[in-house]
Amino acid sequence: MKVLAAGSLRTVWTSLMAPFPEPVEAEFGPAGLLRERIEAGEFCDLFASANLAHPRALLAAGRALAVFPFASNQLCLTVRREVWRKGDDWFSLLTRETLRIATSTPGADPSGDYAQELFTRMGAAGESVRRRAQALVGGRDSAPIPPGRLAAEWILHSGKAEVFIGYASYGETLRQMEGLKVITIPPPYNPLANYACAVITPQAQPLADFLLSVEAQKIVQQAGFLPSPCGRGALFSPSPRGRGPG
């Protein structure tokens, strides 16, 4: 079985697939770019995205049989520890104009889209942050992240930025890395990333069912993800006028 999956699922995927009885070949990348590959005709049995929009677009185009939300995530800031000052919070760090801010690439990578939503939720202050932020990873022409490195750690330790906006599921790992500090972004500013899988072929249905199981949900949440706000087992099916997968 072949799966195309959001890059943010890479760190949990091996442990997640360990209890699943069938062999699964997974390839990871920015969900927007993976969706484009499927639309261009690349074969996969299941597509796991870091947002609902890309799987639902495949469903609407008749390229998926069903869409199941299965987890969620949030954003956090990772900063180089030497730039953090006593009393700093997420807002003061983002609005400090001397700090360079890095994000993933909007459109290609949902993490970049959620960062843009964060800026919108910040109001007028966020527009200035939006103009300063640089999309350094997750794009069609972005420099590849070295194997075994996390985007935030690589960007910050290589001196490309002082602040990185990324997924909170990486937070516990990043907190253990020398020279880095992870800062929480509170609601209502923090967007919720709703992960979903698109069932492309009937052979993928057992894997979709497994992702919704109690066992799989426990593994995903132990890795720093949150439950899906849609509820376990929520389903989006094609309209009666939709055609089969193409």
- SS3 category, 36: helix
Do 81 and 128 share a domain, yes or no? yes
C-alpha R_g of the chain? 18
Provide the greatest CA pair distance for the chain.
59
Count the domains in the chain.
2
CATH number at residue 29: 3.40.190.10
Domain span at 81: 75-184
Query: Element (H or E) spanning 173, and its range?
Result: helix 171-175
Q: pTM for the complete prediction?
A: 0.93
- SS3 category, 169: helix
Do 88 and 177 share a domain, yes or no? yes
pLDDT for residue 147: 93
Do 179 and 204 share a domain, yes or no? no
In a domain, 40, yes or no: yes
- The last residue of one of the domains, among 156, 184, 212, is 184
Alpha-carbon distance of 116 to 112, in angstroms, equals 6
| Predicted confidence (pLDDT) at residue 241 exceeds the cutoff of 60 | no
In a domain, 233, yes or no: no
For 30-72, what is each residue's pLDDT tens digit?
999 999 999 999 999 999 999 999 999 999 999 999 999 999 9
Residue 229's pLDDT band (boundaries 50, 70, 90)? confident
Do 62 and 132 share a domain, yes or no? no
Contact 48, 28 (CB under 8 A): no
Do 62 and 130 share a domain, yes or no? no
Do 123 and 197 share a domain, yes or no? no
For the chain, the distance separating the N- and C-terminal CA atoms, rounded to the nearest angstrom, is 18
Query: How many of the other CB atoms lie within 10 Å of CB of 155?
Result: 26
